[in-house]
Every structure is written in structure tokens, then in C-alpha cells.
Amino acid sequence: MSQAKQPARRGAAAQNNTKNSTGTASRKKSPARRQKPAAQPQADKPRGIGGGSRGKVLVTGAAGALAQHVIADLKERDYKVVGVEFRGLQTDYPDTVDYVVDFNTRPFEDVFREHDFVGIVHLGRIRFTQSSRGRRYSANVTGTARLLRLALKYGVEQIIALSTFHVYGADARNPSLIDEEYPMRAANLMPEVVDAVELENLFNIHMYKHPELNIAILRPCNIAGPGISNEISRMLSQPVAPCLFGFSPLMQFIHVEDMSTAVMRVFEDKKPGVYNVAPDDYVAYQDALQLAGCRRLFLPSVPPWVAQRAVRALGRYAPPDYMIDFFKYAVVIDGSLFAKTFDFTPRHSLSDLFGHYRAAK
Amino acid sequence: MRTRQFLKPRTVPREVDEIVDSLPMQNIGSQGYDPWGMHPETAKISFTAVRWLYEHYFRAQAFGLEHIPDTGRVLIIGNHSGQLPMDGVLVSFAVANKADSPRLPRSMIERWFPTVPFLGNLVNSVGGVIGDPKNCAKMLEREEAIVVFPEGIRGSGKPYRLRYQLQRFGHGFMHLAMEHDTPIVPVGVVGCEETMPSLTNIKPLARMLSVPYFPLAPLLPLPARVFINFGKPMRYANDVRNEQDVEWRVEEVKDAIRGLIDTGIAQRKSIF
């Protein structure tokens, strides 16, 4: 991919990324266009839908594994895609990333000035294990607030936001099949994930205040599969995975390809709302580990402080200690609303999913 | 999973295997779990032990099983006693083991159960579900039979001197029955009070262990005979004007349970 000469202004995240750069000096610096801009629409040429394609779509978090699938699916459906990455943690970026820019910096608006987006698929979120709490809040919440302001300013017709089932929080008293109306208790149960709840609140406010943005929030269960590097996928990939003695909570998993299909269904059908995305299939955590070919490393589970210390001692080989309750108590979500609204059935079974991890070992 | 695979062929007799396989079970996924954690293959192992307890240890006898509808939603409402939820286990087994149209009822369990290692998973795997109205509503929508003890820990944790005295009932079950057009089958359990008679609740110890009560009681349940009497279904329309009306209806159910307890006490010739 050719690298364009960039204007002097650079995004803060982009500057940070130069430390990790393995490519040329011009790579991943900029507000930061990493390639030649897409052909600017001619004055006499219709823009957006009908302008030679079905329009341009901004995909945030474009370096992620899910984004790779979403971008491919969008292109297949004749959309033009502009990929943006702000996480600044990758050592290299795939070709799906067109811009590396911090949403909180002024140059981010240039992306909107240069392109006429019909929709935004907001997949970019710094996960709980990445970066500090302050930085997460700044990027995930403040950055997204700016994204929403710009979407409104530049007349974007649709926004899909990727949230997480973690917003419900893990607690022994959780009912099963949690539906979308259930309170987002994570803010109370685990303050470290408050940015995820705040992010949803932000979208919810805009959903009702600006219905023209057609906001859809997706709360998927555990996304797993090739390329995914979230906490649960990391556990399944390890030859030895930790689990708490006497606890094997029920979990749900969705294959990354199915999640991409789910995103595309929402994008095509344009039905705003908040939706849980999960298959009607369940497996206990310890069963999942064994199906994925992992050996179990039992950690003490009581009293809780011993469990937390044990998890901390394992470092990156275990989930962060504040997420320990997700490995103790089931958080089973009800994906029936999404399945019914979008006629969605996952293509990949749990056996397929765990087969991937088993085969990779 | 491996423990299950090891234990099942060594412990589960063919009859139990057949009983569990014959039970209608909805919503079981590809890995054998339903959304509330029930796992029929694990349940078979637990059932083997429960069957022995039911038939040989507690020598339980169930009457009025014909009042349990063969299909469709139903709330089985009973008196709670005996420190451990043995009454729930025995009532569930009685319904699952009945000759005509057996079905596996789901028991509503205390919210602290899942905090205890192994216990939460074990109870879930045999059909126990956290006593949350949302859980109950979702299961009724899926036409399940549900066992509820509206006294909660007030009933199970009460000392022996209060035996067979119904404690305050929560109103949640009545609201669910009315909102989801569900029949209530009252059940009176006699004998469980004597399985683990408690002299008192050692509150400081309970607080220290974060459990609702810590009884001064035998370490293991005593082999008291258990009598389970199911009453005729009771139906209530969703037409109450206020909570007072609900309370009256709850009292009607309590009266029915009191009658069934009296029947059980009359049936009992000896405690052990």
C-alpha cells in the first residue's frame, strides 16, 4: 500500500505509534492518512448511496480481527470502507487501516471532511486489559463522544456500536437469559469497566436525542475464533488455562465470522436499538477449556482475596483480577430479540469454535 | 467434563439413565446445557444419589402427584424446612419419578448458593435456579414446572421449636402466577423439619462465613421419614386492585399448604 505524504498535524496516538513502528518512517503517522485519499467525489457526481457504490462506511478499530471480517463483508456488499484505528497498541497495521488518529484530536475531523460517510461501524474500543483506566476512559468515552458529534455534524445516517455483555456485570445473583432492559450493573460491581457502561450511556442519549443517527448498540457474548485476542480467546489459546476451583460458570460464545454477519444484518436492515447478540447455546467454562484442548490449572477460589492474588501472580496468563467474577458466575444473555429482529442464526457451532483452538495447539 | 465421564458409567444404573432420558427437557444446547446450567448427564449422577436418599434413607412417600399437570407451566408452592434444601430435592424427585408423565421441575434456590464452590454448579446441573423473578418468568414462558418455597431462608433456617409453623411468604410467586396465567399446586412436606433440627442460629459464625444462617444442628441430615402431599391446582386471574388483594390470595395458598401439612402429620406413624 502506498503511503501518502501527510500534513504536519499529527494525532497523539499516531505519534505514540512511531515507537512501535516496524515499517517506513511515513507509516502510521498522521492525523493520519496512511494511503492516498480515496477519489474525491466530483461536484456533478452523486455522493453517498448511488455514487458508484452504496456509499462510504467508517469502520473504527479497523486493525482488529472482527473489523477485518466486517470490512470484507462491507466491501463484498459494494460499500467503500475507510478504516480508522486509534488504539495505538499494535506493532503493525493491516491494510484495512487507512488512518491512525486519536478521536480526541482535531485532525480526526479531517477524516469526515475528506469522506462522505453513510454509516459508521464503531468497533474500536480499548479493552479492559489494555492501557490504564484513565486512558481507556479518554479513548472510549470522550473519543466516542467526539465521534458522535462529528457524525451528527456531517450527516451520517447510521451508527453501529459494539458494546459487550460485560456491562451487565458478573454477580452470583444474576438471573439467566439477561435481556436488554436489565440494569448495567457493572458500573456498581466492577468500577474498572465503567468506561463500557459510560460508552453505552452516551450512545443511548444520542439514540433518543438524535434518532436520525439510527444508532444500534450490540452487546455480544464472548467473541472468539481466529485472530481474536480478547481475554477469553487468550485463555482458550493457552495450553494451560487457569480456572477457579469449584467454579465453572456457564458461558456463551459467538464465532467472529458470525459476529461480523450480525453487524452486517444490522447495517443492512437499519433497525436502531440495543441488542444482545448471543447464540441459544451454552457451555460451562471448564468444559470449554477441555473442548479447546487446554489443561486446567486450578486456582484457589476462597477466600476471594486468595483467588485474586493467585490470578495476579499468573500475570498475562490469567484474566485481570477485577474480571475474576466473570470466571465465577454465569452471565448468560438473551439473544432472542436480535435473532428475531434480524432473522439471525449463527453458522458456527460451539464445536467448530473450540475445534479451532484445539487444532491450533 | 472428565470427572463426569469417569463417574457416570461407574455410578448411574440403567433405570436412572432411562428415567432422566424420558423426562421432557427443553432448551438443551449442543453441549448438553440449558440456559440455567442444567446438564442432564450430570443430573443422572446426582439423581442416583437422590434416588437412594428418597427411597432408602428418607423413605419418602408422595401423594397427590396426579395434581401436577402433564405439560405446561406450573408453580409448585411448598413449606420450607430443614436447614438444607432437602425438601426441594425430594419434591423435585417425586415429580420426576412419577409413573405417569414425569417431568423435571426446576427448584428456585437461594441467591448465595452460587457463591459456594461446587455447590452452585452442582445445584444448577440438576435443575436448581437462582430465585429471581426474571428467571421464574422466563421459565414459565418456556412452559416449565417450578418449585418455589416463598418462605425462603425464613423457613429453611428456622429453629426446631417453630417446626411446621409457616413463616411469612413472599408475594412474588403470586404475582408471577397471575401475570403468567399459571396454576399453583400447593405441596406440604412433612419430615424435613426432623432431618436437621436446629436449636439456634449462630449468627456471628454465619456473618463470618457470609451465609444467611449457621444452625446448631446435626452435621448430617437425620433419616426422618418424609411425607409429601400435593394439593389441587389453584388458579388466580390477574385482576387484583392492590397488594392487599394479593396478600389475601397468598393466605389462601398458605391455608392450603397448612392443610396438606396436617394431612402429612396424620399420615406419619413415627418420625424415624
Instruction: Decide if the complex's ipTM is over 0.95.
Output: no
Report pLDDT digits (tens) over A65-74. 999 999 999 9
Which segment of A87-101, B69-83, B238-252 scores lowest on mean pLDDT? A87-101
* pLDDT surpasses 60 at A24: no
Q: Give residue A103's pLDDT band: very low, low, confident or very high (50, 70, 90).
A: confident
* Averaged pLDDT for residues B66-88: 91
Q: What is the pLDDT of residue B65?
A: 95
* pLDDT surpasses 50 at A177: yes
Cβ contacts of B140 on chain A, cutoff 8 Å: none
Q: What is the pLDDT of residue B238?
A: 93
Q: What is the pLDDT of residue A33?
A: 53
Which percentage of chain A shows pLDDT scores above 70? 83
Alpha carbon distance B68, B77 (integer Å): 12
Q: Give residue B101's pLDDT band: very low, low, confident or very high (50, 70, 90).
A: confident
pTM: 0.84
Grid cell at residue B265: 402429620
* pLDDT surpasses 50 at A107: yes
Grid cell at residue A311: 490470578
Q: Pick the residue with more confidence: B31 or A89?
A: B31
Q: What is the pLDDT of residue B11?
A: 85
Q: What is the pLDDT of residue A41?
A: 46
Q: Give residue A28's pLDDT band: very low, low, confident or very high (50, 70, 90).
A: very low
Q: Is B67 on the interface with A (CB under 8 A)?
A: no
Amino acid at B124: N
* Averaged pLDDT for residues A287-310: 89
* pLDDT surpasses 50 at B80: yes
Q: Is B134 on the interface with A (CB under 8 A)?
A: yes
* pLDDT surpasses 70 at B245: yes
Select from B1, B35, B135 the Cβ nearest to the Cβ of A286.
B1
- Mean of the per-residue pLDDT values for chain A? 83
Write the secondary structure of chain A as one string of H (helix), E (strand) and C (coil). Answer: CCCCCCCCCCCHHHHHHHHHCCCCCCCCCCCCECCCCCCCCCCCCCCCCCCCCCCEEEEECCCCHHHHHHHHHHHHCCCEEEEEECCCCCCCCCCCCCEECCCCCCCHHHHHHHCCEEEEEECCCCCCCCCCHHHHHHHHHHHHHHHHHHHHHCCCCEEEEECCHHHHCCCCCCCCCECCCCCCCHHHHCHHHHHHHHHHHHHHHHHHHCHHHCEEEEEECEEECCCCCCHHHHHHHCCEEEEECCCCCEECEEEHHHHHHHHHHHHHHCCCEEEEECCCCCEEHHHHHHHCCCEEEEECCCCHHHHHHHHHHHHHHCCCHHHHHHHCCCCCECCHHHHHHHCCCCCCCHHHHHHHHHHCC
Q: Pick the residue with more confidence: B13 or B235?
A: B235
Say how far residue B42 (Cα) sits from the centre of its chain.
Answer: 18
Grid cell at residue B104: 423435571
Q: Which residue of A has its CA nearest to B116?
A: A246
Q: What is the pLDDT of residue A6?
A: 39
Quick check: A282 and B124 CB within 8 A? no
How many cross-chain Cβ pairs, A to B, lie less than 8 Å apart?
Answer: 85
Q: Give residue A35's pLDDT band: very low, low, confident or very high (50, 70, 90).
A: low
Q: What is the pLDDT of residue A131?
A: 67
Which segment of A4-18, A193-207, A336-350, B43-57 scores lowest on mean pLDDT? A4-18
Report pLDDT digits (tens) over A266-291. 999 999 999 999 999 999 999 999 99
Cβ contacts of B108 on chain A, cutoff 8 Å: none
* Averaged pLDDT for residues A32-38: 51
Q: Is A4 on the interface with B (CB under 8 A)?
A: no
Q: Give residue A52's pLDDT band: very low, low, confident or very high (50, 70, 90).
A: low
Residue B61 phi, psi (nearest 5): -130, 135
Q: Is A332 on the interface with B (CB under 8 A)?
A: yes
Q: Is A290 on the interface with B (CB under 8 A)?
A: yes
* pLDDT surpasses 80 at A202: yes
Q: Pick the residue with more confidence: A191 or B260?
A: B260
Q: What is the pLDDT of residue A88?
A: 62
Q: Pick the residue with more confidence: A1 or B56?
A: B56
Q: What is the pLDDT of residue B12?
A: 87
Q: Give residue B201's pLDDT band: very low, low, confident or very high (50, 70, 90).
A: confident
Q: At what angle do helices A143-153 and A194-209 cross, to 10 degrees?
A: 20
Report pLDDT digits (tens) over B164-187. 999 999 999 999 999 999 999 999
* pLDDT surpasses 90 at A81: yes
Element (H, E) at B226: none
- Closest by CA position to A266, among listed A338, A335, A208: A338
* pLDDT surpasses 80 at B93: yes
* pLDDT surpasses 80 at A4: no
- Mean of the per-residue pLDDT values for chain B? 90
Q: Is A301 on the interface with B (CB under 8 A)?
A: yes
Cβ-contact A17, A31 below 8 angstroms: no
Q: Give residue A138's pLDDT band: very low, low, confident or very high (50, 70, 90).
A: confident
Q: What is the pLDDT of residue A166?
A: 93
Mutation target for A interface from B5, B28, B33: give the one with most A CBs within 10 A: B33
Q: Which residue of A has its CA nearest to B119?
A: A246
Q: How far is B60 from chain A (nearest CA, A)?
A: 31
